[in-house]
Amino acid sequence: MRALPLLAVAALAGAGCGSSETSEVFETNSVKMVRGNEFDPRAISVKAGSTVTWTNEDGVPHNAVAKDGDGPKSELFGKGKTYSWKAATPGTIEYVCTIHPGMDGTIEVGPGG
């Protein structure tokens, strides 16, 4: 009978594990800028030709700027404001908020549909 409680403890411990950094990629065209200087979700997947929209839900200004090459290049914008960018070419785009170190995200652009 002792195995059952141990399994329950193991399941509960596993459920609480994890970190704020995730490698999970979400299929969505919407990214929120949230408290704690984070993009939510941090990694997204879209098809070429899709428009990605960032919405600032935080009380401080943010932007979304590609680290290299083609990608989003927004100005700073405040709470309740949005920025949209069209994903034209398949590939991986890493982007950041240029005024908040560690606030970064990734867009996986797949072939158009």
Would you list which residues are annotated within the binding site for Cu cation?
62, 97, 100, 103
What's 28's DSSP letter?
-
Residues annotated within a binding site: 62, 97, 100, 103
Token pair of 79 as six digits: 């709470």
Strands 82-86 and 91-96 turn out to be unpaired
Strands 43-47 and 26-27 turn out to be parallel
Euclidean distance between CA atoms 47 and 100, whole angstroms: 28
Euclidean distance between CA atoms 92 and 100, whole angstroms: 21
